[in-house]
Amino acid sequence: MLTSGQGCDGHTGGALMGGMGTLDAQQTRAGRARAMVAVGRARVSNAMLRLAACGVVALVAISAVGHAWPLLWFAGLIAVILADRAIFARVLAKAEAGEPPARTAPLVAWTAAQSLYGNFLGAVLWFSTYLPGETLAMMYVLGGLANAAATLRYSHALSIAGAGPTIAFMLGLPLVDYALSGANPTDLLQVVAGLLVLGFGIPLWRSLLASDAAQAQAEAAVLRERQTAAAAAAAKSDMIQRMNDELRTPMAALVGAAEHLRRAAASPQARAHIATIVQAGEVLQLVLGDFSDLDRLENGQLRIETKPADPRDIARSVVAAFRPAAQDKHLELFLDVAAHVPAQVEIDALRVRQVLFNLLANAVRYTTHGGVRIGLSAEPSEIEGRTVLTFVVADTGAGMSRSQLAMIFGRGRVCGEGEGPGLGLSISLRLAKLMGGQLQARSELGEGSAFSFSLETPVVAAARAPRTAA
């Protein structure tokens, strides 16, 4: 009925949780908390609506019975509903904090008491001298029954507490009236009508229970999938970290030894071959770093650390690292630096170098003839004291189609061998975004590609202490 309210208890929520199988304690507690959150929100949100609806019923009852008893009943109901709102506001707060009530017997008793008090008005209407009083009473009781069945279905105990007294009034009022007045037996048709309502309503109520159980099963499955995904992500991160720890040290030693050999080599040819080994080792170190950075990017753990640096030195160092590989493929490698590029800007030199390294690695890898040109320019920003740096890596390779560009930039897809740039470009896209910059590309099949990396950064006159930005 309108005053019986809505509710759910934690330990009797078998109707809601029946089809979920065996769950661990954490999942069961989470399910109870979700149920009590739904109950608390419903009670708190519809308290004023129930109060207004019952006020209208009380006004109608005053005109029907001809005295002020319904007004007194409504005055008591105001206190009941306001108390109910306060009680379930507290239940809601605890449930949202993951602490649903351990004992729900008081809630069950409270729901039953509300239902009995609310249905008392139905008895007043039934035994009034007003001719349509019985009809009004039955409409009121049936409305309360529908409300209780729909809103208390999450708990068998609360369903019984709310709907039980209502059903008792629905079937008992005609029987009591017949017993007291000895009227025509046809007056018992009200009982038959009530039984028909129950006969048709119970299957509907059970279908609502089945729907709730299916939803609970789906929520439990989603929770298990999230836990599995989190465990898999943790295992992957651990594996990547172990791989980096195991390979980074010997790789650094290999590159260092090759550098020493290159300086000690007697012939230019030997120095060139050793330089190739050094460059290959640096590329392998970059790949290892890319794997680690990709994992940190996905977990939101990578941070940008800015400090004063010379963007021209960054570009020169990246070009120098790839010059041996370009010479081996008989490619021209050019660096064009505009005259107005600032000598000192505040950037994360390591991450900018990483983006350029990946772009140049792709350009050299997929270019078989011609050359690769790296350009560095700067334009004044709209904000005073800042500049927009633009690095451009253009090649004369095979180029990419619009569909390949769409897959890379439109969907952030990492392509494999033969399908375009792979892991390095994917990381460069994310790093550029993390630094507040943009990575764009222009390409046509058979006409090469041009990747541009733009970054707005403060211009500084002297080095400052490093700072960390998210």
Measuring CA to CA, how many Å separate 321 from each of 275, 277, 314?
Answer: 9, 11, 11
pLDDT at residue 240, as a whole number = 64
From the list 6, 17, 11, the residue with the least C-alpha distance to 41 is 6
- Architecture of the domain delimited by 303-469: 2-Layer Sandwich (3.30)
pLDDT at residue 12, as a whole number = 36
CB-based contact 192:174 (threshold 8 Å): no
Q: What is the mean pLDDT of the chain?
A: 77
pLDDT at residue 268, as a whole number = 77
The number of beta carbons lying within 10 Å of the beta carbon of residue 434 is 17
Check: pTM over 0.95? Answer yes or no: no
User: What phi and psi values does residue 318 have, to the nearest 5 degrees?
Assistant: -70, -45
Give the C-alpha separation, 62 to 67, whole Å. 6
pLDDT at residue 455, as a whole number = 92
From the list 211, 38, 32, 210, the residue with the least C-alpha distance to 23 is 32
Say which DSSP state 247 is in: H
> With a cut of 50, which residues of the chain have pLDDT below it?
1-24, 411-421, 463-470
pLDDT at residue 296, as a whole number = 66
User: What phi and psi values does residue 332 have, to the nearest 5 degrees?
Assistant: -80, 140
pLDDT at residue 10, as a whole number = 39
Helix and strand totals (H; E) in the chain: 13, 8
CA dihedral sign of residues 375, 365, 269, 318: positive
